Structure formats: structure tokens, C-alpha cells
Amino acid sequence: MNDVVILGIETSCDETAAAVVKNGRDVMSNIINSQIDIHKSFGGVVPEVASRKHIENISIVVETALEEANVTYNDLNAVAVTNMPGLVGALLVGISFAKSFAYSINKPLIAINHMHGHIYANFMEHDSIEFPAICLVVSGGHTSLLLMEDINNYKVIGETRDDAAGEAFDKVARFLGLGYPGGPVIQNAAEKGQAGNLKLPRVLLDKNDYEFSFSGLKTATMNMWKKLEKTGGQNVYDLVAEFQAAIVEVLVAKTALAAKKHNAKSILMAGGVAANSQLRNEVQNAANDLGINAYYPSLKLCTDNAAMIAGSAYHDYLNQKFASLKLNAHANIIKL
């Protein structure tokens, strides 16, 4: 069979990204223009600023992705773009660019759900992932547990009732003045502290289900900090170490519970929070205890990128699942 070369475009949040991927796995280029430095001063992503930066950067990012992959327009089989979930204004920049580009080079357009992209990143780097699998999806906007029968068939068996895990990391980091994005800065600060010196709740840990809740933990962390500031006994490193441990413990326990109950043969992790080293280590340990394999993408494919978008479009290409030029953006995941 001929090679299938796909250009992927991702602009759902604060990364303008383009990548070229061959046959769903071979990453020929993976360009990410991060806006973190711009949003940092606001303590979070400002949607309109994100859209404006995407529109400034998208052409050059796509051009660089094609150059680095050493491909011409003719070599491309399709153009894939994230159309949900995300910031609508940001998504629209990528979608409009991808539509015009696909139309002008007369190649099909493929719409990709960003979260599928995150999950698919596992399959780009790991062979022989066995099913059924439990996938822990943890990003800035999502926290869910999926039961996967195969790469394209899965159902959501649990979700967060309020904040996503990444959102909790970001909000607590902002409150403590540690910076943005919260995940990496908390991970670094936590390494200097000790979990257990302060005590934060493991919300819903004792419930025998797959529901999560991080809003209360976030508030408890903030309240504890205010109290510590008053008494003068504050140690931000111990606080974030405990906060991270509280999130990781619940995520790992529910993932392991789901894996056990569903006789999973593998555990997968997906989304930006899956970059967290404590989470990776503890999921790995839990999988070892269950005698099954744990998988997570390398850091480059774990946080937002376009290679996962171009990669997951491969199966749609083989199935001729193409989008029309009426393609629109959606803030949340919708079934089409």
C-alpha cells in the first residue's frame, strides 16, 4: 500500500501546532509554537489573545512543518484539523486555515476530536497494546476514565463532577503565585517539599465508583494556605507536594479499580496531566501490582501537539471519513 502522509493542525488552546505524520505513526515533523509566555502575565489563557496569536502564527507554523518534513503539497494525502473541544475562537483559526488549505491543494479535510488525538498518541509510540484497556484522560478541561474495547471503540465509565485535574493544578498554582501552566510548576515545587506534613482530602477516594471531584480539594488547598499565612508557618513546597499527592492518589486508585473490575489488560494515560512524573510512576506501580502494562506518550506527544492530530486522522483517511467545507468548531465534545 502507498504511504499516507497527513498534515495535522491544532489550535484548540494556546499552542499553534502543525505536524506531518506518515501512516499514522511516523512523525516527520512536529512544530509547536507556544503562547505560554504571552498568557503567563495573565495567569491563564486569554481566549481572544490566543485567537489573535494563532492567526499571526499559523501560516509560518504550517510552512515550517512541511519544510521540516521535506514534503510538498503534492505529497500530502489529507489535511487534518482539531474541531473540538476547545476555545471556539482559537479552534476557528485552525479550521479556517485547514479548510482553505485543503481546498486549494484539492485534498480531503479530516476533522479530529482533540481528546481522541491525546488517546491516539499512545498508539503512535507503543505496539501491541492489549484490550480491553482502561484509559485515564487528564487534561486542562477533562478528567475521565474510558473503557476501551479497541482503538476506536470506547465508553466513558467515569468523569469529574466539577473541575478537571489540570484545571485544579492551574488554579492552585495561580492562587499561590507559582506561575502558569500550573502542572509543571507544581510538579517542580512539589519535589522540594514533602507530602503528608500537611493533610489535604482525597475526595471521593472511598467511593466505589469512577467519579472524580477536584473543586473541593482546590478550595481546601487555598484555605489551608490562607491559614498558614496567618500563623506564619507556611511552607509552599509541602503544601503543593500534598496537593499533588492528593490528586495523584485518587486518579491512580480509581484507574486501578476500573482496571481490576473490567479485567483490563492495559492501562493508558492521555492528556497534559499525564506528563506528571508522580502520576506516571504511580500508575506504573499500580499496573505492576495488577500484572498488566501501563502506557503513556512521550512528553512531546503528551501535551498539546499536532502530531497526535495527524496521527489519529490516519484511520479516518483509510475509512474515507472526510469532513465537508461546512466544518465548524465546538467548545465541547459532540457526537456528529
From the list 168, 198, 170, the residue with the least C-alpha distance to 185 is: 170
Cis peptide before 132 (omega within 30 of 0): yes
Instruction: Name the minimum Å distance from CB 302 to ligand KG4.
Output: 8
Q: Is the dihedral of CA 130, 134, 135, 136 positive or negative?
A: negative
The C-alpha atoms of residue 124 and residue 126 are separated, in whole angstroms, by 6
Q: Which range touches ligand KG4 (CB under 6 A), out of 196-204, 221-229, 271-279, 326-334?
A: 271-279
Q: Which of 9, 13, 17, 146 binds ligand KG4 (CB under 6 A)?
A: 13
Instruction: Name the minimum Å distance from CB 102 to Zn ion.
Output: 23
Alpha helices for 82-205 (secondary structure H): 88-104, 114-125, 165-175, 182-190
User: What are the strands, taking DSSP E only, across the chain?
Assistant: 5-10, 15-22, 26-34, 78-84, 109-113, 133-138, 143-148, 154-159, 266-270, 293-295
Is 94 known to sit in a ligand binding site?
Answer: no
In contact, 79 and 109? CB cutoff 8 Å: yes
What DSSP designation does 322 have?
-
Instruction: Name the minimum Å distance from CB 198 to Zn ion.
Output: 30
Is 139 known to sit in a ligand binding site?
Answer: yes
Is 316 known to sit in a ligand binding site?
Answer: no
Is 332 known to sit in a ligand binding site?
Answer: no
Is 140 known to sit in a ligand binding site?
Answer: yes
Residues 6+ apart with CB under 8 A from 246: 200, 201, 202, 203, 217
The C-alpha atoms of residue 58 and residue 88 are separated, in whole angstroms, by 16
Residue nearest to ligand KG4 as judged by C-beta position: 183
The C-alpha atoms of residue 139 and residue 38 are separated, in whole angstroms, by 20
Instruction: Name the minimum Å distance from CB 80 to ligand KG4.
Output: 17
Instruction: Name the minimum Å distance from CB 277 to ligand KG4.
Output: 7
Residues 6+ apart with CB under 8 A from 135: 119, 122, 145, 146, 148, 154, 267, 268, 269, 270
Is 277 known to sit in a ligand binding site?
Answer: no
Pick the closer one to Zn ion by CB: 24 or 86.
86
Pick the closer one to ligand KG4 by CB: 51 or 292.
51
Angle at 166 between CA 46 and CA 169, to 5 degrees: 90
- Determine if 252 is a binding residue for ligand KG4 (CB under 6 A): no
Pick the closer one to ligand KG4 by CB: 94 or 183.
183
Is 179 known to sit in a ligand binding site?
Answer: no
Which x/- pattern over 163-182 shows residues binding ligand KG4 (rule: CB under 6 A)? ---x--xx----------xx
Pick the closer one to ligand KG4 by CB: 102 or 279.
279
Interface of this chain with ligand KG4, residues 105 to 134, rule: CB under 6 A? 118
Reading across the β-sheet that carries 78-84, which strands appear in turn?
26-34, 15-22, 5-10, 78-84, 109-113
Which x/- pattern over 62-101 shows residues binding ligand KG4 (rule: CB under 6 A)? ----------------------------------------
Rule CB under 5 A: which residues touch Zn ion?
Answer: 139, 304
- Determine if 193 is a binding residue for ligand KG4 (CB under 6 A): no
Q: How far is CA 235 from CA 32, 212, 228, 240, 245, in A?
A: 35, 27, 8, 9, 16
Pick the closer one to ligand KG4 by CB: 203 or 247.
247
- Determine if 272 is a binding residue for ligand KG4 (CB under 6 A): yes
Is 118 known to sit in a ligand binding site?
Answer: yes
Binding residues for Fe cation: 114, 118, 304
Binding site for ligand KG4 (CB under 6 A): 13, 118, 139-141, 166, 169-170, 181-184, 187, 271-273, 275-276, 303-304
Binding residues: 114, 118, 137-141, 170, 183, 276, 304
